A and B are shown apart, each in its own frame.
Chain A
Amino acid sequence: MDSVLSLILFIPLIGAALTLFTKTRESARMIALISSAVPLILTVIIYLQFNSGLAFLKFQFVEKISWISTLGINYHLGVDGVSMPLILLNAILCPLTIIYAWGENKQPNQFFALILVLQAGVFGVFMALDFFLFYIFWELTLIPLYFLISIWGGPNKDYAAIKFFIYTHVASLVMLLGIFALYFSTGVNTFEIPVLLQAFAGITSPEMRVAIFLALFFGFLVKMPTVPFHTWLPDAHVEAPTAGSVLLAGVLLKMGGYGLFRVLLPMIDGLGPYRSDIITLMAVLAVVSILYATFAALAQKDLKKMVAYSSVAHMGYVMLGAAAFNFMSVSGAMFQQFSHGLITAVLFMSVGVIQHSVHTRIISDLGGLADRMPKLAFLMMAGFMASLGLPAMSGFVAEFLVLTGSYLTLPVFALLAMVGIVATAGYHLWAMQRAMFGSYNEKLGEPHDLAFYEMIPMAILVLLIIFFGVYPAPVMDVFEYASTIIPGVM
């Protein structure tokens, strides 16, 4: 088990290479499925072995090999409570996405290979304990998604793909700047994340600390994304193929939140006199994201764009929980990441099926789909309900913890955030009503209901959403330990 993390990390990459050289669709998707299922099995095994209770103070399954010793750069992997469930999420979503995309006809070998590369990149981000490595994987995730959008995307894919690429790349570079600054200001001559974070508070100039914090913050903000740096996301989603959207919203956005928890929160207490300003800034951004994105979603005509905006709003909760900075809110925010990953996947899959089946996503053109596509209606409804925060589904657990926790430290912001709940329900229900209910719009032709391979992943996800909504402890406990060891978190 010494190098299990490396195995999880590299099996998809190897699988990607193999997939790329396959000749037929059948072999491509089979190899892809296997090479993403093996990491899932391994992840589940280590998740079960993962000892969140007793040994939560240190990283587990650590691998460390010196890489560029002059700069103190190591190939350093390890997991703890912050990352483990997200690794699980990634491990779950990718095979499901591959199954969902079982019918992909356009260059399937490249398609599946890119998904696998994406998976590996995200794994890497969640596992890396060295900033250099972290950054490498962080950037690595851009490329496959860029291709997924620009090759398999919709009509305006050029614009969306390049916008996504450049926008997030700029943010990454700013983050890189922050990493450098952190490295120099601490003077520890290593890029180890934990070491640097520990040394952060030792930086003498408080302004420097704030500058470092903000630079890193910007990188994560754009990724999450938070208003006003979110506009790449709806465009990317609208144009991306369903599998790309699922992974983009499901795991890629989580990288931003992960950065928040892994890197930024441990720094907060080191901010000295600026601590409260920064917290306020985060809280304002969070609440603005929630409300603004919710209202923007309300105005969308394209179902997929609406879902994309809902992602922005939901990620706002992550930010709010992080800003509130107590164990309840932080663990809730972490759980929100996990839960949103599952939920949004169902939503995008549903939208994908609609698009595929009736060739439009414009809400007003749809209507009465439940009549012809009852299975879709059922699963989509489940997804929508989860997304609007219905209890007994995982989204509620997260939102409740975030709101309750946030009220402890940021009461005003928590209450403001609650205003959005009604509007959230509003656009979800409105879309359901227009798209699913009423009499069937005959102009849409004869749709087919879910194919078997589309239904399986959606059903699994819905079951998981309900499972984690009813019994969140397996993931929640891990997050809870993880959040309590962040310095300064009550």
Chain B
Amino acid sequence: MLPVSYYLIVSAIVFSIGVYGVMTLRSGIMIMMCVELMLNAANINLIAFASHFNQVNGHVFVLFSIALAAAEAAIGFAILMNIFRSNKNVNIDNINILRW
């Protein structure tokens, strides 16, 4: 069995990729996917720890978080759909009528 630190390193990398993506990407879809990456990085952590400590609650946590992530994604896509309808694209860096 791999030591828990391996999982942590992987998750950290995944998380960082997600963060980088959120900060730099233009497309709303891509950003949402990056957020998913981040969430899953956390999930990796949780699973890793849960199995490491032989606890069940970590797994429960992950199940919840996956469900919530799905719900979140659903809402997100709904909003993006709206944006697509009016803007014909999902680039969100030019949505800035609200500022200052």
Q: Do chains A and B touch in the complex (CB under 8 A)?
A: no
Residues of B at the A interface (CB closer than 8 Å) are none
Chain A interface (Cβ < 8 Å from any Cβ of B)? none
